Structure 1
Amino acid sequence: MSKYAVTNLATGASGPSFALATDAEVTEAIGAADRAHSEFSRRTSVAERAALMQRVADLHSERREHLADLIVGEMGKPREVALGEVDFSADIYGYYATHGGAFLADEPIELLGGEGSAFMRNASLGVLLGIMPWNFPYYQVARFAGPNLVLGNTILLKHASQCPESSAAIEQIFADAGFPAGAYGNLYASSDQIADIIADPRVCGVSLTGSEGAGAAVAEIAGRNLKKVVLELGGSDPFIVLSTDNLEEAVDAAVAARVINSGQACNAAKRFIVIDALFDAFVELFTAKIGGIVPADPTSSETTMGPLSSLDAAEKLEEQLQRAEAQGATVVLRGRRDGAFFSPSVLTEVSPQSDAYREEFFGPVAAIYRVESEAEAVQVANDTPYGLSSYLFTTDAEQALRVADLIEAGMVFINGSLPDSAELPFGGVKRSGFGRELGRFGIAEFANKKLIRILK
Structure 2
Amino acid sequence: MEFHSVNPYNGEQVGKYNAQNSVELDEALNRSSEAFKTWHTKPISYRTGLIKKAGQVLRDNLEEYAQMITSEMGKPISESRAEVNKCAWVCDYYAENAETFLSPEIIKTDAAQSFVRHDPIGAVFAIMPWNFPFWQVFRFAAPTLTAGNTGLLKHAPNVFGCAVKIEEVFTKAGFPEGVFQNLIVHHDQTEKIIAHDAVKAITLTGSEMAGSAVAQIAGKYIKKSLLELGGNNSFIVLEDADIDLAVKTAVSARMLNCGQSCIAAKRFILIESIHDEFVSKFTDAIKNLKAGDTKDGATQVGSLARKDLADQLNRQVKESVSQGAKLLLGGKQDKCFHEPTILGNVKPGMTAFEEETFGPLAAIIKAKDIDEAFELSEQSKFGLGVSVFTKDTAKAVEYASRVSDGAFFVNELVKSDPRLPFGGTKRSGYGRELAKDGMMEFMNRKVVYVK
TM-score scaled by structure 2? 0.98
Match of residue 64, structure 1, among 39, 62, 65: 62
Q: Verify: 1:255 aligned to 2:247, yes or no.
A: no
User: Is the contact made by 1:410 and 1:427 (CA closer than 8 Å) also made in structure 2?
Assistant: yes
Q: Verify: 1:417 aligned to 2:413, yes or no.
A: yes
Match of 1:102 in 2: 100
Match of residue 355, structure 2, among 341, 356, 359: 359
In 1, the alpha carbon distance for the partners of 2:92 and 2:403 equals 32
Match of residue 88, structure 2, among 87, 90, 97: 90
Deviates more, 1:263-272 or 1:399-408: 399-408
Q: Structure 1 residues 127 and 404, CA, compared in 2 at 3 Å: closer, same or farther?
A: same
User: Is the contact made by 1:344 and 1:364 (CA closer than 8 Å) also made in structure 2?
Assistant: yes
User: Is the contact made by 1:120 and 1:450 (CA closer than 8 Å) also made in structure 2?
Assistant: yes
Q: Verify: 1:172 aligned to 2:168, yes or no.
A: yes
User: Is the contact made by 1:198 and 1:206 (CA closer than 8 Å) also made in structure 2?
Assistant: yes
Aligned AA for 2:427?
R
In 2, the alpha carbon distance for the partners of 1:126 and 1:332 equals 52
Match of 2:16 in 1: 17
Q: Structure 1 residues 245 and 329, CA, compared in 2 at 3 Å: closer, same or farther?
A: closer
Q: Verify: 1:341 aligned to 2:333, yes or no.
A: no
* SS of 1:450 mapped into structure 2: strand
In 2, the alpha carbon distance for the partners of 1:144 and 1:158 equals 12
- The alpha-carbon deviation at position 146 of structure 1 amounts to 0.3
Aligned AA for 1:110?
K
Q: Verify: 1:32 aligned to 2:31, yes or no.
A: yes
- The alpha-carbon deviation at position 195 of structure 1 amounts to 1.0
Aligned AA for 1:226?
I
Match of 1:376 in 2: 372
In 2, the alpha carbon distance for the partners of 1:431 and 1:165 equals 30
In 2, the alpha carbon distance for the partners of 1:366 and 1:272 equals 7
TM-score scaled by structure 1? 0.97
In 1, the alpha carbon distance for the partners of 2:111 and 2:250 equals 58
- The alpha-carbon deviation at position 431 of structure 1 amounts to 0.3
In 1, the alpha carbon distance for the partners of 2:2 and 2:237 equals 45
* SS of 1:193 mapped into structure 2: helix
* SS of 1:443 mapped into structure 2: helix
- The alpha-carbon deviation at position 47 of structure 1 amounts to 1.3
Match of 2:4 in 1: 5
- The alpha-carbon deviation at position 39 of structure 1 amounts to 2.3
Q: Deviations over 1:181-228 (max 9, x none)?
A: 110000011111111111112210000000000000000000111111
Q: Verify: 1:289 aligned to 2:285, yes or no.
A: yes
Deviates more, 1:256-265 or 1:388-397: 388-397
Match of 1:268 in 2: 264
User: Is the contact made by 1:4 and 1:163 (CA closer than 8 Å) also made in structure 2?
Assistant: no
In 2, the alpha carbon distance for the partners of 1:141 and 1:423 equals 17
User: Is the contact made by 1:425 and 1:439 (CA closer than 8 Å) also made in structure 2?
Assistant: yes
Match of 2:74 in 1: 76
In 1, the alpha carbon distance for the partners of 2:156 and 2:432 equals 21
Match of 1:149 in 2: 145
Q: Verify: 1:133 aligned to 2:146, yes or no.
A: no
Deviates more, 1:294-303 or 1:148-157: 294-303
* SS of 1:162 mapped into structure 2: helix
In 2, the alpha carbon distance for the partners of 1:163 and 1:244 equals 44
In 2, the alpha carbon distance for the partners of 1:370 and 1:245 equals 15
Match of 2:47 in 1: 49
Alignment of 1:367-406 (within 5 A): 367-406=363-402
Q: Deviations over 1:358-405 (max 9, x none)?
A: 101100000011101111111100100000011001111332112222
- The alpha-carbon deviation at position 418 of structure 1 amounts to 4.0
Q: Deviations over 1:328-385 (max 9, x none)?
A: 1111113321221111111122232323321011000000111011111111001000
User: Is the contact made by 1:295 and 1:342 (CA closer than 8 Å) also made in structure 2?
Assistant: no
Fraction of identical pairs, as percent: 38
Q: Structure 1 residues 246 and 357, CA, compared in 2 at 3 Å: closer, same or farther?
A: closer
User: Is the contact made by 1:427 and 1:435 (CA closer than 8 Å) also made in structure 2?
Assistant: yes
Q: Structure 1 residues 420 and 40, CA, compared in 2 at 3 Å: closer, same or farther?
A: closer
In 2, the alpha carbon distance for the partners of 1:277 and 1:454 equals 65
In 2, the alpha carbon distance for the partners of 1:351 and 1:241 equals 16
Alignment of 1:106-121 (within 5 A): 106-111=104-109, 114-121=110-117
User: Is the contact made by 2:111 and 2:449 (CA closer than 8 Å) also made in structure 1?
Assistant: no
- Structure 1 segments (4+ residues) deviating >6 Å: none
* SS of 2:305 mapped into structure 1: coil
Aligned AA for 1:56?
A
Q: Deviations over 1:63-94 (max 9, x none)?
A: 00100010110001111100000000000011
Alignment of 1:201-350 (within 5 A): 201-350=197-346
Aligned AA for 1:324?
S
* SS of 2:158 mapped into structure 1: coil
* SS of 2:219 mapped into structure 1: helix
Match of 1:441 in 2: 437
User: Is the contact made by 1:195 and 1:221 (CA closer than 8 Å) also made in structure 2?
Assistant: yes
Deviates more, 1:140-149 or 1:338-347: 338-347
- The alpha-carbon deviation at position 419 of structure 1 amounts to 5.0
Q: Deviations over 1:414-451 (max 9, x none)?
A: 01124542112111000001111111111000100000
Q: Deviations over 1:13-38 (max 9, x none)?
A: 12210011111111111100000001
* SS of 1:356 mapped into structure 2: helix
In 2, the alpha carbon distance for the partners of 1:89 and 1:176 equals 15
User: Is the contact made by 1:130 and 1:206 (CA closer than 8 Å) also made in structure 2?
Assistant: yes
User: Is the contact made by 1:75 and 1:162 (CA closer than 8 Å) also made in structure 2?
Assistant: yes
Aligned AA for 1:13?
E
In 2, the alpha carbon distance for the partners of 1:264 and 1:217 equals 22
Q: Structure 1 residues 261 and 181, CA, compared in 2 at 3 Å: closer, same or farther?
A: same
